[in-house]
Amino acid sequence: MQKVYLRKPRAATNHGQKQQQQQAAAIMHFSLQDSLPAGHILALNASFGTLSYLIADDMGMPHLARQEQFTHTEMSVLLPMLELFPYYCPYEVLYASFYGGGKATEEQIVEARDHLDDAMDEGIWDQEMRPVRCALSRTRLKMRTFNVDISSILATGYILLISQPEIEDEAEEYEETHKLAGSLR
């Protein structure tokens, strides 16, 4: 199961403290079970639907390497896959999350499984899954920015696949660029 790190809110003295805490809680950090190089992390801001690829420099300061904006619909299928990484995300979890606004309870997942089983028996499974697959298709295109692919597992669900060599090459290039920029100062 993927470890999710929630950013700790800063103490605020004004009346906006509650709002700041809600915004901070809406940012989740994913290391993808150490599939990313050390000092690299994905930060998902659920409120704004942005996924950011952050790289920490030698001093631990994060720098934005890439960022993509996701619609609410795309977020509803992306979030469960990120949370379940490195394992696959079953169809019923995606379906329940898609129709549950991004979060699905165990009860909703069981209902989705029963509904999809009935749809399979009636021969309308493809029709039921079409909106979910459309959202996955759009999400897949955006995730390629992060060298992450969404792959289908026949009759099971979907899984995130990390393209490791490209990420490492880009990380080395990023570090070299910033070392060069630092030496010019």
pLDDT digits (tens, 9 = 90+) for 153-182: 998 999 999 986 554 555 566 566 555 555
Residues 6+ apart with CB under 8 A from 97: 76, 77, 79, 80, 103, 104
Residues 6+ apart with CB under 8 A from 78: 44, 51, 70, 139, 143
Q: What DSSP element (H or E) covers 176?
A: helix 164-184
Task: Encode pLDDT of 70-117 as tens digits.
Answer: 999 999 999 999 999 999 999 999 999 999 988 899 999 999 999 999
**Share of residues in the chain with pLDDT > 90 (%):** 61
What one-character-per-residue DSSP string does 10-56 give? Answer: PP--STTHHHHHHHHHTEEEE-TTTTSPTTEEEEEETTTTEEEEEEE
What order do you get walking across the sheet with 89-90 strand by strand? 89-90, 157-162, 148-153
Domain-by-domain residue ranges, the chain?
A: 4-184
Task: Encode pLDDT of 34-75 as tens digits.
Answer: 888 888 999 999 889 999 999 998 888 999 999 999 999 999
| Backbone dihedral angles phi then psi of residue 152, each to the nearest 5 degrees | -85, 140
Is residue 81 within 8 Å of residue 158, measured between CB atoms?
yes
Q: From the CB of residue 10, how many other CB atoms can be counted at a distance below 10 Å?
A: 9
Say yes or no: domain 4-184 is CATH 1.10.20.10. no
| Backbone dihedral angles phi then psi of residue 164, each to the nearest 5 degrees | -60, -50
pLDDT band at residue 26 under the 50/70/90 scheme: confident
The whole model's pTM is what? 0.76
Q: Which carries the bigger pLDDT value, residue 74 or residue 22? A: 74
Residue 37: the pLDDT is 87
Tokens linked to 80: 């469960």
